[in-house]
Amino acid sequence: MSSNKQTLLDQIKADILSQNICPDLAEQATQLVFGDGNPDADMVFIGEAPGKNEDLQGIPFVGAAGKFLNEMLASISLKREDIYITNIVKYRPPNNRDPLPDEKAAFLPFLQSQLEVIQPKIVVTLGRHSMDSLLPGLQISQVHGQPKRYNGQVYLPLFHPAAALYNGGLRQTLLDDFAAIPTILAKIK
């Protein structure tokens, strides 16, 4: 099953490259950062866009935000190999600027295809950009940590781990929201 899913994911990656999605971003980036982790995972985490380290290594969340994410996963006895992780925008925006609405829209169908292949129990959005792309019209400050069912998929909007690096108060909020994940997962049919 897993190898079949991996084959399908590889095809989505090849499609992004062959369809030349966001050529301006592609030109300035080192490489496409498609996704990483276990295609059979119950949980898919979705960030914003690759940063410098991710761009260089071709793997999402390997920099400072990724380190904190790994710590939060460990706090609920999970490892990176237990989840799948990707971003809404799959090339590093120049100077880490926010992804543009057009860029998010261009990559959305590919993100949706990734989710269709993996079929996770829950999609965890990290930060405002990935939440807005998948769960429009919500305020992260009001809904973080609350599971939301939308078009047949359960989502859990969380703050972005990078935000906690600048705002110490958010660090505990994120840890608290993470602590609730096992109970939330267990309740999903």
Q: Which residues make up the interface to ligand URA (CB under 6 A)?
A: 47-51, 54, 60-61, 63, 65, 87, 162
Residue 63 or 120 with smaller CB distance to ligand URA: 63
Cα–Cα distances (Å) from 143 to 104, 108, 135, 136, 184, in that order, read: 21, 22, 11, 12, 14
Nearest to 159 by CA among 149, 172, 151: 172
Minimum Å gap between C-beta 50 and ligand URA is 5
Whole-number Å distance between alpha carbons of 127 and 132: 9
| Smallest separation, CB 110 to ligand URA (Å) | 15
- Tell me the residue nearest to ligand URA as measured from the CB: 47
Is 52 or 188 the residue whose CB approaches ligand URA more closely? 52
Q: Distance between CA 105 and CA 169 in Å, rounded?
A: 32
For ligand URA, the closer CB: 164 or 189: 164
Nearer to ligand URA, 33 or 154 (CB): 33
The nearest distance, CB 61 to ligand URA, in angstroms, is 4
Half-sphere exposure of 141 toward its Cβ, with a 13 Å CA cutoff?
1
Cα distances (angstroms) measured from residue 129 to each of 82, 87, 103: 24, 10, 11
Q: What is the distance between the alpha carbons of residues 39 and 6, in angstroms, rounded to a whole number?
A: 6
CB 27 within 8 A of CB 91: no
Least separation in angstroms between CB 121 and ligand URA: 22
Q: Which is nearer to ligand URA, 95 or 151 (CB)?
A: 95
End-to-end CA separation in angstroms for the chain: 21
